[in-house]
Structure 1
Amino acid sequence: MTAAGDTVAVVAAVARLLYSNGLTTERLIETVERLGRACGLTVSVLPAWGEIVLRMEGDSLPGGPVVETVAAAPTGVEMNKVTRTLDIVEAVAAGRMNAGQALAALRAIDRLAPVSLLRAVAMNGAGAVALAIIFGASDPATLLLTGFSACAGGALRRGLAHIAANMLTQPLCAALLAGFVAALTSRLLPDADPYLIALCPCMILVPGPHLLNGALDLARLRIALGVARFSFAGLIILVICTGLIAGLALGRESLPPPGPVVAVPLLFDVLAAGVAVAAYGTFFSMPWRTLGIPIVIGMLAHASRWLALADGTSVAGGAFIACLLVGVIVTPVANRLHLPFAAVAFASVVSLLPGAFLFRLAAGLVTLMNAGETAAPAILVPLVVDATTAAAILLAMAFGLILPKMMLERLFPVWSGVAPATRR
């Protein structure tokens, strides 16, 4: 391959790795354009669902402008791949690596394996148990069964990843297993809380980074890509709900009502939040050396939410305050450490997602369908409440995370870790 061909291949490989592994669209475009300038090229980046169109022109391309269509879909979240790819971009820009060396390094990054099976399964269970504690669980039976269900679901997902190319199969089967375990618990162990045993392993499956990246694209008026990201995330949430309800139905049960609200002490809430963040950092293949950063941020966020709720703030208001804090801290940290903003931010606030309301809404809709024309009007009230509450929390989280990022990168680009040359 010629030197010009190596350069084109490097730009295309960087764009594909960053786009398919969770980097925000805005940062993707800025990074690829910066890499092009370092290689003597002017690069235009047009991302769409399933592909990226790159138009490159410059004196180093003897045949004139080159248009490269790179097949890539933004369906993954691999922090280690993003971090290493951005490090290579920095090395090329600083002149420490030529195009041939960069291309070889990028191919090695593409072959990186996910975290070990043991770590993935163990942290899957630990994250679900931490969420159960945040939601008020304290009895050993509930915590043990929640951890067992989540560990089994994590192992099932890893096994399915090797035999099924469809990305919807993994959350569907894991949610199905969680629902079936909760149904058996309801029949065999009445002292345990089947509601949390069903809920927490499914909360682990919610595709938060895709929702957040979709919201960022809509805020930047990339309507088509934002809608596509939301549709992908919504489809995953739909199959999670379907799997959960089907698993409960296999055990001839429906989603049990939540128990009474239990006030969790601040210390327990904060420590459990740290464990949940560590679990999500594992799911996103975050290196151990950087995992402590989102853990600390997530603990601070949960402390602020706990204090806000104790002061009488609504659930949506508490989520907004916590996410606002996370957005202010994560924006400079993610940019300077070459981490995907959406993955770090979501990992820090995962337990704030209204998964409980969404799953109850899905179960309530099934109940309404089964009742048919004989359904009592009172069935609609909890459905409306759950839907409205879920929407309010999602909007509060989106605004809380996105507004600080956009404002800080616009007003204080250097402080935010964004090079002045890339400021828009």
Structure 2
Amino acid sequence: MQHLMTRCDAMIDADMPMAPGPMQLSLPDAVDTVAQAATLLFVNGQTTERTLIAAERLGRAQGVSLTLHPRWCELELRVDGTPYSAITPAAPLSVNMAKALATMKIVDQVCEGSLNGSAARSALAAVERMGPVSTLRFALFAAIGAASMGVIYGVLDVTSLLLIAFSAGMGGLPRRWLATLGGNPFIQPLCAAAVAGAIGAIATRLHLPDTQLFIALCPCMVLVPGPHILNGAFDLTHTRVALGIERPTYAGLIVLMICAGLLMALAVGGSTLPAAAISAHVPLGADVIAAGCAVVAYGTAFSMPWRLLPLPIVVGMLAHAAHWALISLAGMDVAVGALVACTLVGMMATAVADRLRLPFAAVAFCAVVSMMPGFFLFRVANARVELVASGGLAPVDLVSSVAANGATAFLTIVAMSFGLIVPRMLSDYFRTLSARRGADHA
């Protein structure tokens, strides 16, 4: 890799191990191949655990026993039994399921012996050059996702849904343009949220009935970085405390930028977030269809290939039907409904992600995005701004609103993470246990 750095306490000479195969690679080249694959997985949304397993498998397939040590901005590979190590920069800032899928396929081919090391290096370089989905497709499905969130929250007015879709689509254009420029990743959600805030302020001036709040919020909900939250929770459960704290911190900063862009644009437009109001009770059919559309929108944002979308769509629609029934029929609160529905998603998404070789966090989040408590997070941010503006004259209702919305958001995120993670952890545990028993009997 271009930025790969190596260090060794002794000179690398002809006595160093070589990777076997039709076209043998030197130790540095073999480690570089593993670093390429691990970086592609790590920076494109694959869980840390799956990245570690893939790196170790790929190393063994090339005759090199190594250990991967991930950190927020870099990956370090240490060759077992030697002083040789390599460090490559890698920051897990994005999610691209197409790249993760292609990388996992290459790793499998090398491990099966159908691809040699030199060909694998060329294939991984080609994966690294893969671009995201087109700007038009990205903006279109951002619009569809935001409008779907509007339906889920009870916005059935056509004019309001069109405004929500227009806002999210227009926000998607600067996001994609800024992404091509590189630089600070927080500018993209800030600008997209500012577009939503500006259009929300216009909607307030038009006095659209009962839907002004969601015209401002729904385009922002499609910006919430759910996979980073879930991957951070996975790291914590595997005692990778540093990564487990850094991933949610990054996600939290993105949410902060979303809130800042939204509230600043509303303030410039002479408006604030209106009082919460849901325009209509959403029938089960409309709710489930909207949830399926949200899955398609997020799958597109995460560059999931078209042919792989049907399974996550089915998972998301079934989960949201269960969520709707738990809240609307059984009378459960939001957090409990999210816990039960996400446990169902965790079981189904585990099977889907393993079968399709996709990042679990991205697949799972696509299915549960409609349950994320973005509405409550943005309400908390708005109420806190009002608290600061009111000073000592803040009404009691405002304080209780901050507490209630904040507690609901926190408990819902914890419930969703727990529901999604536990089935995955149990699956990994029993798979490892089965593999060990098979090795003992061999």
Please give the alpha-carbon distance, in whole angstroms, between the structure 1 residues aligned to 2:378 and 2:112. Answer: 50
Please give the alpha-carbon distance, in whole angstroms, between the structure 2 residues aligned to 1:280 and 1:170. Answer: 16
Q: Does 1:333 align with 2:347?
A: no
Aligned AA (1:85): T
Q: Match of 1:19?
A: 42
- For the 8 Å contact 1:142–1:192, the answer to whether it is kept is no
Please give the alpha-carbon distance, in whole angstroms, between the structure 1 residues aligned to 2:40 and 2:158. Answer: 43
Please give the alpha-carbon distance, in whole angstroms, between the structure 1 residues aligned to 2:295 and 2:72. Answer: 29
Query: CA, structure 1 residues 24+418, in 2 after alignment: closer, same or farther (shift >3 Å)?
Result: farther
Please give the alpha-carbon distance, in whole angstroms, between the structure 2 residues aligned to 1:326 and 1:193. Answer: 30
Please give the alpha-carbon distance, in whole angstroms, between the structure 1 residues aligned to 2:238 and 2:180. Answer: 36
Give the drift of 1:192. Answer: 6.5
Q: Match of 1:3?
A: 25
Q: Match of 1:123?
A: 141
Give the drift of 1:260. Answer: 3.8
Query: CA, structure 1 residues 306+190, in 2 after alignment: closer, same or farther (shift >3 Å)?
Result: closer
Please give the alpha-carbon distance, in whole angstroms, between the structure 2 residues aligned to 1:297 and 1:319. Answer: 14
Please give the alpha-carbon distance, in whole angstroms, between the structure 2 residues aligned to 1:329 and 1:260. Answer: 31
Please give the alpha-carbon distance, in whole angstroms, between the structure 1 residues aligned to 2:404 and 2:80. Answer: 55
Q: Does 1:161 align with 2:179?
A: yes
Q: Match of 1:345?
A: 364
Q: Structure 2-normalised TM-score?
A: 0.91
Please give the alpha-carbon distance, in whole angstroms, between the structure 1 residues aligned to 2:208 and 2:317. Answer: 33
Of the structure 1 ranges 136-145 and 259-268, higher mean CA displacement relative to structure 2 is found in 259-268
Please give the alpha-carbon distance, in whole angstroms, between the structure 1 residues aligned to 2:255 and 2:88. Answer: 28
Q: 1:366 aligned to 380, 385, 401, which one?
A: 385
Q: Match of 2:428?
A: 409
Give the drift of 1:159. Answer: 1.4
Give the drift of 1:31. Answer: 1.1
Query: CA, structure 1 residues 260+82, in 2 after alignment: closer, same or farther (shift >3 Å)?
Result: closer
Give the drift of 1:237. Answer: 0.4
Q: Match of 1:321?
A: 340
Give the drift of 1:108. Answer: 0.3
| SS in structure 2 at match of 1:22 | coil
Please give the alpha-carbon distance, in whole angstroms, between the structure 2 residues aligned to 1:13 and 1:301. Answer: 36
Please give the alpha-carbon distance, in whole angstroms, between the structure 2 residues aligned to 1:245 and 1:225. Answer: 30
- For the 8 Å contact 1:78–1:284, the answer to whether it is kept is yes
Deviation digits for residues 312-349 of structure 1, max 9, x if unmatched?
A: 11111110111000100111221221100000000000
Of the structure 1 ranges 294-303 and 184-193, higher mean CA displacement relative to structure 2 is found in 184-193
- For the 8 Å contact 1:141–1:192, the answer to whether it is kept is no
- For the 8 Å contact 1:54–1:69, the answer to whether it is kept is yes
Aligned AA (2:243): L
Q: 1:204 aligned to 196, 208, 222, which one?
A: 222
Q: Match of 1:234?
A: 252
Aligned AA (1:279): A
Deviation digits for residues 44-91 of structure 1, max 9, x if unmatched?
A: 111011001101247xxxxx5420001001111000000000000011
Q: Structure 1-normalised TM-score?
A: 0.94
Query: CA, structure 1 residues 340+418, in 2 after alignment: closer, same or farther (shift >3 Å)?
Result: farther
| SS in structure 1 at match of 2:408 | helix
Give the drift of 1:117. Answer: 1.3
| SS in structure 1 at match of 2:309 | helix
Please give the alpha-carbon distance, in whole angstroms, between the structure 2 residues aligned to 1:354 and 1:328. Answer: 21
| SS in structure 1 at match of 2:77 | strand
Give the drift of 1:302. Answer: 0.3
Q: Does 1:41 align with 2:64?
A: yes
Which runs of no fewer than 5 residues in structure 1 stay unpaired? 59-63
Q: Does 1:219 align with 2:237?
A: yes
RMSD over aligned Cα atoms? 1.9
| SS in structure 2 at match of 1:3 | coil
Deviation digits for residues 124-151 of structure 1, max 9, x if unmatched?
A: 1000001100100111110010000000
Aligned residues: 415
Q: 1:53 aligned to 55, 72, 76, which one?
A: 76
Give the drift of 1:220. Answer: 1.2
Please give the alpha-carbon distance, in whole angstroms, between the structure 2 residues aligned to 1:418 and 1:333. Answer: 24
Please give the alpha-carbon distance, in whole angstroms, between the structure 2 residues aligned to 1:185 and 1:232. Answer: 31
Q: Match of 1:61?
A: none
| SS in structure 1 at match of 2:50 | helix
Q: Does 1:398 align with 2:417?
A: yes
Aligned AA (1:352): M
Identity %: 47
Please give the alpha-carbon distance, in whole angstroms, between the structure 2 residues aligned to 1:125 and 1:419. Answer: 50
Please give the alpha-carbon distance, in whole angstroms, between the structure 2 residues aligned to 1:397 and 1:341. Answer: 14
Give the drift of 1:180. Answer: 0.7
Deviation digits for residues 22-58 of structure 1, max 9, x if unmatched?
A: 0101111111111111111111111011001101247
Q: Match of 2:14?
A: none
Please give the alpha-carbon distance, in whole angstroms, between the structure 2 residues aligned to 1:305 and 1:190. Answer: 29
- For the 8 Å contact 2:210–2:279, the answer to whether it is kept is no
Query: CA, structure 1 residues 325+247, in 2 after alignment: closer, same or farther (shift >3 Å)?
Result: same
Q: Match of 2:295?
A: 277
Please give the alpha-carbon distance, in whole angstroms, between the structure 1 residues aligned to 2:368 and 2:166. Answer: 23
Q: 1:377 aligned to 374, 385, 396, which one?
A: 396
Q: Match of 1:152?
A: 170
- For the 8 Å contact 1:357–1:389, the answer to whether it is kept is yes
Aligned AA (1:53): E
Please give the residue correspondences for 1:65-84 in structure 2 after superposition, counting only pairs within 5 Å: 65-84=83-102
Aligned AA (1:173): C
Q: 2:285 aligned to 267, 286, 292, which one?
A: 267
Q: 2:53 aligned to 30, 53, 59, which one?
A: 30
Aligned AA (1:83): L
| SS in structure 2 at match of 1:136 | coil
